[in-house]
Amino acid sequence: MTIRTIPTQPFTDQKPGTSGLRKRVPVFQQAHYLENFVQSIFDSISAPANATLVLGGDGRYYNREAIQVILKMAAANGFGRVLVGKGGILSTPAASCVIRKHKTYGGIILSASHNPGGPEGDFGIKYNVTNGGPAPEKVTEAIFARSKQISEYRILEAADISLDSLGVSDLGGMQVEVIDPVTDYADLMASLFDFAAIRDLLAGGFRIKFDAMHAVTGPYAREILERQLNAPAGSVMNAEPLPDFGNGHPDPNLTYAHELVDIVYGENAPDFGAASDGDGDRNMILGKGFFVTPSDSLAILAANATLVPGYKNGLAGIARSMPTSAAADRVAQALGIPCYETPTGWKFFGNLMDAGKVTLCGEESFGTGSDHVREKDGLWAVLFWLNILAARKQSVEAIVYEHWAKYGRNVYSRHDYEGLPTDAANGVMKHLHGSFANLQGQTLGNYKVLFCDDFSYIDPVDGSISTGQGVRIGFTDGSRIVFRLSGTGTEGATLRIYLEAFEPDVAKHPLDAQAALSELIGIALQISELRTRTGREQPTVIT
Ligand code: G1P
Ligand code: ZN
């Protein structure tokens, strides 16, 4: 087997976004495109000779081909061993778990998360560092800088390796170990949660439905929910991972997980519903005909954490991304622990967890997790909820209502305008930046502007600074509007508007979030000039 050095030209568009490099499959299929990025990773991370790497993806279209390329490049770049998920598949939290458990020199995860897959769908790749978490900005910036300079890459000339059975094989002197993706992860879950109590809950007739959306969590959910916790067969739906997610959009929200939503809001509904996304790091939590917003979910997990064995000693602190509602802040305050506000994207939580400053983290975008790994974790959130439900013996809805009664309710919604022309979306953001001076102190209907700024963050652990993280308009009563451009899309621009109003009055709690936020929605549209600048009347997705 020979190592070949292949001359190449840089691509100019390999800048990682909120979570790695995401592009359409045909972009990745261009000659040298994937190879250039992988070599840029290897050139930037200074792995010692014979290091071990973890490798796996969410199983979407092009996963298998990409895994073979990366294995051959790893062999040519001096890695000694690669742990690969069976079939080339690993959920993102499982990859994080394996990196940590086996102390590897990080890992490469192939995923475009919740974006649709298939030959015309999306593909993605990211490097996770040795703590199991997404590479911080200084690493992704180094990879991008390298991708603009690259002139050659190294690859082993060899036949493809079979990834469908467990075991070790040799690839040009490098060991390729195909591992069972589920075992390590299921063991970790069993160490955190009271499986016996959850088993009792389910044996007592509490019915659950988990939608794996034909994405990566199917095998994990079947093993844990159906085999280890004895949920009846069929409790996990769409359990078979498919390269195109059964033509679906594997994003667990009220719009894209409509099959589950119809069941949970229908007749004879189960007591609990949940879904996870393409790569298994997101979660949606539902009660019988009841939706738990991700921001509330984080707050409720925090408030009830001591009911769960893995968190029985309490939390060091909580972190939430800036656009996430302040519901968790109220719990942190009541518990007397710190709450950190970080930019969007899981990579900002890693330092806080490594330094022992926080235990739970969350984002409004259906992401919740803890320091058990360094990624958000969909099934973990589901098990956390089931453990709380088993301990409290109340319905999901009752738990949420009690929470609101105690802490007040941060009424919350996010409006996404997807697929906008990039110029128009940038124009909206530029216009908002230009309006800060004028908006300051202004009264808009019932709301008075307290501050407006562009969010920036100084990492309290390493002092690194991240600027331009989204426009915030805060009002004197604690309400807030945030505008941000997505960093995960592959087509045009997506503009997100995050709306939040605080309602302490329990009597008003069965209120409809959209109705309660209607005045703020009107203000957001007015001050951003979104409709005239983009020609869009309505958001594409409301969560
Ligand atoms: C989105 C979410 C963000 C999440 C990321 C990866 O990023 O908003 O919270 O971390 O996906 O799952 P965005 O498209 O907004 O940049
Ligand atoms: Zn994801």
What are the tens digits of pLDDT across the range 178-219?
A: 999 899 999 999 999 999 999 999 999 999 999 999 999 999
The burial class, CB within 10 Å (0-12 / 13-18 / 19+), for 288 is middle
Q: Which of 486, 491, 496 to mutate to test the pocket of ligand 1 (most atoms within 8 A of CB)?
A: 486
Q: What is the rounded (10 degree) CA torsion for 14, 17, 23, 27?
A: -10
DSSP letter assigned to residue 134: B
Q: Token pair for residue 377?
A: 């974790």
Cα(38) to centroid of ligand 1, in Å?
23
Is 248 close to ligand 1, i.e. is its CB under 6 Å away?
A: no
Beta bridge partners of 123: 23
State the closest ligand 1 atom to the C-alpha of 494, by its place in the atom list counted from 1: 14
State the closest ligand 1 atom to the C-alpha of 346, by its place in the atom list counted from 1: 10
Q: Where are the alpha helices (DSSP H) in 359-439?
A: 378-392, 396-407, 422-439
Beta bridge partners of 501: 411
Is 487 close to ligand 1, i.e. is its CB under 6 Å away?
A: yes
Q: Which ligand is nearest to the CA of 363?
A: 1
Establish how many alpha carbons lie within 13 A of residue 451's alpha carbon, considering only the half-sphere containing its beta carbon.
6
Cα(281) to centroid of ligand 2, in Å?
5
Is 543 close to ligand 1, i.e. is its CB under 6 Å away?
A: no
Residues of the chain under the 50 pLDDT cut: none
State the closest ligand 1 atom to the C-alpha of 18, by its place in the atom list counted from 1: 16
- Alpha-carbon distance of 115 to 180, in angstroms, equals 25
Establish how many alpha carbons lie within 13 A of residue 137's alpha carbon, considering only the half-sphere containing its beta carbon.
16
Q: Return the SS3 of 464.
A: coil
Cα(216) to centroid of ligand 2, in Å?
10
- Alpha-carbon distance of 310 to 298, in angstroms, equals 16
Report in angstroms the alpha-carbon separations of 470 from 225, 326, 364, 450, 530: 38, 16, 14, 17, 16
* AA letter at 244: D
Angle at 36 between CA 35 and CA 42, to 5 degrees: 85
Q: 2-179 has which fold?
A: Alpha-D-Glucose-1,6-Bisphosphate; Chain A, domain 3 (3.40.120)
Is 44 close to ligand 1, i.e. is its CB under 6 Å away?
A: no
Q: Token pair for residue 228?
A: 């280890």
Q: Using CA positions, which residue lies closest to atom 8 of ligand 1?
A: 365
Is 77 close to ligand 1, i.e. is its CB under 6 Å away?
A: no
Is 368 close to ligand 1, i.e. is its CB under 6 Å away?
A: no
Residues 6+ apart with CB under 8 A from 197: 387, 390, 391
Looking at residue 490, its pLDDT comes to 81
The CB density around residue 430, as the number of other CB atoms within 10 Å, is: 11
Is 295 close to ligand 1, i.e. is its CB under 6 Å away?
A: no
DSSP letter assigned to residue 156: E
Q: 185-407 has which fold?
A: Alpha-D-Glucose-1,6-Bisphosphate; Chain A, domain 3 (3.40.120)
Decide the pairing of beta strands 167-171 and 174-179: antiparallel
**43 and 150 Cβ atoms separated by less than 8 Å:** yes
- Alpha-carbon distance of 363 to 414, in angstroms, equals 12
Looking at residue 505, its pLDDT comes to 81
**281 and 93 Cβ atoms separated by less than 8 Å:** yes
**221 and 212 Cβ atoms separated by less than 8 Å:** yes
Domain ranges of the chain: 2-179, 185-407, 409-542
Cα(321) to centroid of ligand 1, in Å?
10
State the closest ligand 1 atom to the C-alpha of 488, by its place in the atom list counted from 1: 14
Domains 2-179 and 409-542 alike in fold: no
Per the residue annotation, which of 91, 111, 113, 297 is the catalytic one?
113
Cα(14) to centroid of ligand 1, in Å?
18
Cα(13) to centroid of ligand 1, in Å?
19
**169 a catalytic residue:** no
Q: pLDDT (tens digit, 9 = 90+) per residue, 138-188?
A: 999 999 999 999 999 999 999 999 999 999 999 999 999 999 989 999 999
pTM above 0.85, yes or no: yes
Region 409-542: CATH code: 3.30.310.50
Looking at residue 510, its pLDDT comes to 64
- Alpha-carbon distance of 488 to 479, in angstroms, equals 27
Looking at residue 350, its pLDDT comes to 94
Is 104 close to ligand 1, i.e. is its CB under 6 Å away?
A: no
Strand order across the 290-292 sheet:
236-237, 208-211, 272-276, 283-287, 290-292
- Alpha-carbon distance of 271 to 290, in angstroms, equals 10
- Alpha-carbon distance of 338 to 360, in angstroms, equals 11
Q: Which of 321, 344, 347, 368 to mutate to test the pocket of ligand 1 (most atoms within 8 A of CB)?
A: 344
Q: pLDDT (tens digit, 9 = 90+) per residue, 336-359?
A: 999 999 999 999 999 999 999 999
